[in-house]
Structure 1
């Protein structure tokens, strides 16, 4: 099972976290560090439990993509731990299973989220357009005026947008990532 500690430790035994963990485990490779006396075979990753302590100093569920950052960090870190040899595009596709926007958070800089063509969304991933050094003079300031949780979750808000916005429906039909 996966544990995530914020103010208290809670079990994350299902859903989005487990999907990400399962996908990373599928891609795991042998890990060997002779100096530290570590040798983990690819097949052993399925049996090992992972304990994750995550502490966030940013408001959660306030509309600032903290869950996207968290899932991107989770997937990237598990990938490093388990010696995954995937490129950022593949990792972004895995992170997207935790939080849609997480696919963009794998990269730095200016990133585009491509819908893909597969019905199961398996080819939906992010593409970096320019890296974080492209606009040296760009500065973004975020002033947190309230750490209160937003009333509408991102999932509900996006579902409502998909159902009611003709502009978003057009964008999905045109698929700007071709």
Structure 2
């Protein structure tokens, strides 16, 4: 395994009680990503099914951001998630392909909306409110919650897009400059705010 601190672990899970039975494989994140995007002739590529992660993230965002998520973002995110679930369960490739195109179009619109909102949201929670300290703190916390809510939504949408790209062919991940651009933009905003 590489010297990275983070790594991917494949675990065997008992389907009845959902307990981990054994570790099957561990690899560095970069090694895992190489498996996703690099294929060798005669050797099939594979991606571990991370759909449980998408399901868990969707549920967590719903619970956590129930009061902070803007209705337009919430409805769009829910729509994308529902389309993703239909694709995930579909065995008909032409139907799944049409749904995949729909998911990409809807996710692109919603990601662009989120990108357009993030600068205003960062200004809102950085503002010097001319209120009592308690009111100012409350306004900043609410603004920061909205910022986090939009970041969470973008991450869920991007995971759905990666899943769809992997389902329809790894080669699309290599050349998808739009999706990687969204990932970099979200990463840059989060890093800038952490600094």
TM over 0.5: no
Going by fraction, where is helix more abundant, 1 or 2?
Answer: 2
Going by fraction, where is strand more abundant, 1 or 2?
Answer: 1
**TM, length-normalised to structure 1:** 0.27
Larger Rg: 2
